[in-house]
Amino acid sequence: MEEKIRVLVVDDSFLMRRIISDIINSDPELEVVGRAKDGAEAVDKVLALAPDVVTLDVNLPVKDGIGALEDIMKKKPTRVIMLSAYTRAGASATMRALELGAVDFIAKPSGEISLGLDKLKNDIIIKIKLVAKVNLDRYIESLQPASLTLVKEEVKPALIKKLVIIGASTGGPRAIMDIIQDIQLDLPAAFLIIQHMPKGFTLSFAERIAWHSGIRAKEAEADDILAPGRIFIAPAGFHMILEAHRQQVRLRLNQDPMVNFVRPAIDVTMFSAAEIFGKDIIGVILTGMGRDGLEGARRVKEKGGRIIVQDEETSVIWGMPKSIIKAGLADEVLPIYKISEAITKYIYS
């Protein structure tokens, strides 16, 4: 019989600790081995119990979730899932936690916990099992310190030579940050990012990309005009498509049915973009579970575009990239630290 996945639950609310523990213990493959009510106690219990996974609330007394995470990653690196509220402050702290080494996060439902309990239950069980499989040593090696960069003066090349579409899911925020930090400001390309993420988090994600890369990045809005040297992030809950309008290409957002069980879907953006940019698309599919991006990549290839996928070694979850490789659609399979170089090469090819 396989050993159970051992979990430490950290939350300042007695009720939340009880609910989360009951959810975890309801699955025969999982076991709560300890609980902590503040950040300092969390660090102590990680050192004493050596859990496989920690669920760590962002807002904690004595030492907050970010401080606790920093201590855990320094003293005893552990797989951590952050629990964060659907708030502006919670989203910003969550993005910071992913930079510091948290593997994934779960957005707490707003209002009474009972209103979102079913959703929370599924997220907790599924994500704990996925995160428990992450090769921690390899994951830590992939982390690069994120440097804060002031947004530089915008340099506008004459035209958009290429459109780069980056799609990711679990493990994606950190991977995307690593790529964008190595991208030159003056590349004659526009960038679209589709990251599977709950509502309320994509705005903070866009801000952190801008702060750390120096490139102008924003959460996409309807009628945004595509421009070189700009990054647009699909807002959570909306598909992002392109529409040619005279001499401009504008972004459109819609809430059409989910595709591949997600919205925004990488496939939707790629299908739309392929009709306008054709062979001038560079599609990049990063870490994540499922098959989103597969059919979009197929359409991009049919139009003569290029597809780059992240390799298994540096992926947190090697699902989406693997599906594209199995379909024979990948032009290059690369570790995360080589992808920006490949993007630059294809932009000028």
Indicate whether 150 belongs to any domain: no
Indicate whether 215 belongs to any domain: yes
Which pLDDT score, from 0 to 100, does residue 200 have? 83
Indicate whether 203 belongs to any domain: yes
Indicate whether 13 belongs to any domain: yes
Which pLDDT score, from 0 to 100, does residue 91 have? 85
For the chain, residues with pLDDT lower than 50 are 111-112, 114, 147-158
CB neighbour list of residue 147: distance below 8 Å, 6 or more residues apart: 181, 212
Indicate whether 156 belongs to any domain: no
Range of the domain at 15: 5-142
Q: Are residues 167 and 125 in the same domain?
A: no
Q: Are residues 88 and 214 in the same domain?
A: no
Q: Are residues 331 and 192 in the same domain?
A: yes
Q: What is the CATH number of the domain that holds 230?
A: 3.40.50.180
Q: Are residues 136 and 205 in the same domain?
A: no
Which pLDDT score, from 0 to 100, does residue 117 have? 62
Which pLDDT score, from 0 to 100, does residue 147 have? 47
Which pLDDT score, from 0 to 100, does residue 295 have? 98
- How many domains would you assign to the chain? 2
Q: Is the dihedral of CA 183, 186, 189, 190 positive or negative?
A: positive
Indicate whether 157 belongs to any domain: no
Q: Are residues 210 and 66 in the same domain?
A: no
Q: What is the CATH number of the domain that holds 49?
A: 3.40.50.2300
Active site residues: 169, 196, 292
- Please check whether residue 103 is in contact with residue 174, taking contact to mean a CB–CB distance below 8 angstroms: no
Indicate whether 298 belongs to any domain: yes
Which pLDDT score, from 0 to 100, does residue 199 have? 86
Indicate whether 152 belongs to any domain: no
Q: Are residues 168 and 210 in the same domain?
A: yes
Cis omega (within 30 of 0) for bond into 264: yes
Which pLDDT score, from 0 to 100, does residue 148 have? 44
Helix (H) or strand (E) holding 285: strand 281-285
Domain stops at, among 83, 111, 142: 142
Q: Rounded to the nearest 10 degrees, how much is the dihedral formed by the CA atoms of 70, 315, 127, 256?
A: 120
The reported pTM is 0.85
